[in-house]
Amino acid sequence: MYSLDDFTLESNKKIKFNFDGGDLSSDAGLLLIKEFIAKMGLDKLIDKAFKTNDSAKFRIHEDGDNLQQVLYQILSAYFTDDCADELTSDPVFTTILDKPALASQPTLSRFYNRLDMDTLNQLEEICRALRRTAYSIAPPKMVLFDLDSTLLETYGKQEGEAFNFHYQARGYHPLLCYDGLTRDLLKVELRKGSDHCSNGIAEFVKPLLDEYQKDYPDIDMFLRGDSGFATPELYSLCETNGVAYAIKLKSNKTLQNLASGLLGELGDLTKENIVSYAVVYGEFLYQAGTWEYPRRVVCKVEKQQDHMFPVTSYIVTNMEMSPEDVVMYYRNRGCMENFIKEGKGGFDFAAVSSSSEIVNANRFQTHALAYNIFNYFRRFALPESMKNHMVDTIWLKLMKIAAKLMRSGRYFIFKLCSSFAYKREFCKTLENIRCLRPQLA
């Protein structure tokens, strides 16, 4: 027997549907994230270490709960505050957050507007504490500081936004530092849109070096950066802190003169064959006008196949590898573009919609925290066959899963789709989480 609320397809009268299916959700994969966050102790850490300067004596939705809701929303691709109104009674969200209803859009917006420099420092400390927990599971032998900047576009009059000539667009121009070996986002800093890449780069990197020297003295440190970060302050900082670096230099007449011998060598190689690919490597000491002393510069002169003229590139380094190995080491930093692309597309790094710069800095840091939670989840919890997947693929396979909530006197039972294609991977992920033995702060 069908109710009056049934709908019938005109294309096939035998097909009917209604909205009486019960408590359904399309985000059952968040149960895995919930288990992982609890295993890493992040929920307790947020309750302990995060508090806004709130003048209200009582709120139904407390600061820690709001932050966790925001993180779960970002991790399931609900990026805007408005999404909270659509998820108010979602059975997965309300169950993992242990609340009868989620905070609404106005509540989240007011929460964001309370964020200030104190909360920004708290979020950075939470990121550091989470990193310590991750390293207690699998301590790395080395860390590779990959530096880059990007543009977060803005719309309208927002504090600190400006026109950036490199990107030919208005927005913020933040600094980012990834670990090029693990994809971890080690540090972010929102900056004014008109700031040059190198502005404040030494001050940005130094706290990271201090952290690793203090907390992880046995980890070898390496650093890469493009020519936008070619400053003597950064070179000196690396040299005095035992960091092996390779940073690209922009070409100038002095460098060209020093590399002239390599151009002649390339000419000899291509004398009989000007069509095929050819490359030569070399090195020399070079001292720019702002440098206190000469430094090693590795040079590559390359002629692509069917090209008439060679391209010369220069890398300043304190590494002792051969010139060819230094160039190959530097070239691998191209992965940074993929990391940033995943951060923007998969975690909405550009969600800087507030009129306040400090609020936008907190938003950026929150989305960076969500990125790191997911990256640790990918590295420690996912089965081997999925560890190299991008976030949108993992959403498709493990996150966006239909489930129905059944309640009993003591339990919440989520019934997942019987024909779920990745049941084996789902169960393996849960098993991997349960096998983790992190040392919690």
CA-to-CA separations, 139 to 68, 144, 216, in angstroms, rounded = 27, 14, 9
Question: Residue 45: what pLDDT?
Answer: 96
CA-to-CA separations, 85 to 29, 128, 264, 278, in angstroms, rounded = 20, 32, 68, 60
CA-to-CA separations, 202 to 151, 198, 206, 232, 236, in angstroms, rounded = 20, 8, 6, 9, 9
CA-to-CA separations, 359 to 105, 335, 362, in angstroms, rounded = 16, 30, 5
Strands (E), 140-183: 142-149, 152-153, 162-164, 169-172, 175-179
Token duo for residue 9: 């397809």
Question: Residue 2: what pLDDT?
Answer: 47
Instruction: For the chain, list residues with pLDDT below 50.
Output: 1-2
Question: Residue 441: what pLDDT?
Answer: 67
CA-based R_g, the chain, Å: 26
Question: Residue 1: what pLDDT?
Answer: 43
